[in-house]
Amino acid sequence: MITAGPTREYIDPVRFISNPSTGKMGYALASSVCARGHQAILVSGPTCLEAPRRAKTIPVISADDMHRAVFENLQGVDAVIMAAAVSDFKPASHARLKIKKDRASLHLALKRNPDILHVLGKMKHSYYLVGFAAETDHVMLHAQQKLLKKNLDMIVANRVDREDTGFGSDFNEAVLLFKEGKNKRIAKTSKTRLADVVVREILSHIDRGQPSHFC
């Protein structure tokens, strides 16, 4: 199972909180999984991308929707890759009608969204669990902390404060950190190639000779 893209947290019917994720990394992962003859379930936030034809794609909007879709489809899955940029917060209330601008200011109260990956880590049984860490500073330190805190098997850490990699770009530069303590540095490359490296690593760890569910 692969999650991809941003989530949208609606304030009123026409406004939402989100982030610049385009879903390219998650879609590249799903394509790589399908190209190897495995089954991919792609849980995707709103993107402009065409889903890989052979993946089972489940479109979602908010973090709550994504949370639901992940847990409803988890059975039989060998690996979960959380490549989605899930919004950490959502508006505390959702206005049913469009909020008018006839006031000098507007205070928006926010509340936490579920941390899907954290929950997956806490209840982990047979699946291999991979997270992404989009960082602007102290990449290795923050990624290492997330690997431990979220009980992951692997984390893909990358910087998102550079123009030519990360959000929206076709390229990425990353370090793969494994729970065994090993690191693998991937120099700037296409998201397609990075996806292949990540998928190969996962397959070598779960050691499945046969095509399987990759969720």
**Residues tagged active-site:** 19
Question: Which run of H or E residues covers position 74?
Answer: none
Show the tokens assigned to 196.
């292949």
**Closest distance to ligand C5P from the beta carbon of 97 (Å):** 28
**Does 146 help bind ligand C5P (rule: CB under 6 A)?**
yes
Among 11, 29, 82, 202, binds ligand C5P (CB under 6 A): 82
Region of 178 on the Ramachandran plot (φ > 0 left; ψ -120 to 50 alpha; else beta)? beta
**Closest distance to ligand C5P from the beta carbon of 146 (Å):** 6
Query: d(Cα 105, Cα 21) in Å, to the nearest integer?
Result: 28
Query: d(Cα 77, Cα 73) in Å, to the nearest integer?
Result: 8
**Does 166 help bind ligand C5P (rule: CB under 6 A)?**
no
Q: Which stretch binds ligand C5P (CB under 6 A): 52-60, 115-123, 165-173, 185-193?
A: 115-123
Among 12, 64, 65, 88, binds ligand C5P (CB under 6 A): 88
**φ and ψ at 13, to 5 degrees?**
-65, -20
**Closest distance to ligand C5P from the beta carbon of 67 (Å):** 8
> Helix axis angle, 24-35 relative to 191-206, nearest 10°?
50
Contacts to ligand C5P by CB under 6 A = 63, 82, 84, 86, 88, 113, 115-117, 131-133, 146
